[in-house]
Amino acid sequence: MPDLLETAAQAGSFKTLLSAIETAELADILKSPGPFTVLAPSDEAFAQLADSTLDDLKQDPSKLKQVLFYHVLYGDVRSDDLAEIHEAPTVEGSVVIVEQQNGIKVNDIPVVQTDILADNGVIHVIDGVLMPTILSPE
């Protein structure tokens, strides 16, 4: 079975995410045994960001790493788990809030596809980009 990055690449809808992971030099971590759970914004989700936001992040690798690690959870967190938890710690160090009303949402962003399995974890597609509180615009 392919790893998280190979699985995301095969899906074809995570080009922006994969480019950001490459820019931030995080590929080795997401190819490691894990397991990890990736809350993966689709290309359409990244398109909702202001162009300047993504450009600014790409110019600041430490902030970009923070944002990307905020999308990664330790362990293999499947949809059944998401349906029962209320928060989850991220690799970035903060916690995301998980809600189950009207479908599963993470920090108010809908999870649009769940349980894309990889050799070292699982991917859930989200319809937005999560921003750690420390980086959120005022």
CATH classification of the domain holding 99: 2.30.180.10
Is residue 10 exposed (0-12), middle (13-18) or buried (19+ Cβ within 10 Å)?
exposed
Q: Is residue 63 part of a domain?
A: yes
pTM score of the predicted model: 0.94
In a domain, 138, yes or no: no
Task: Give the pLDDT of residue 135.
Answer: 58
Please report the pLDDT score of residue 138 as a whole number. 41
What is the model's pLDDT at position 105?
Answer: 97
Quick check: is 136 in a domain? no
pLDDT averaged over consecutive 10-residue blocks of the chain (138 residues)?
96 96 93 96 94 89 94 97 96 96 95 97 98 66
pLDDT at position 136, please? 52
Interstrand relation of 105-106 and 95-99 (parallel, antiparallel or unpaired) = antiparallel
Residue 108 within any structural domain of the chain:
yes
Range of the domain at 106: 4-131
Domain assignment present for 30: yes
Q: What type of residue is 88?
A: A
| 137 within domain boundaries | no
Domain count within the chain: 1
CB-side exposure of 65: number of CA atoms within 13 Å?
A: 10
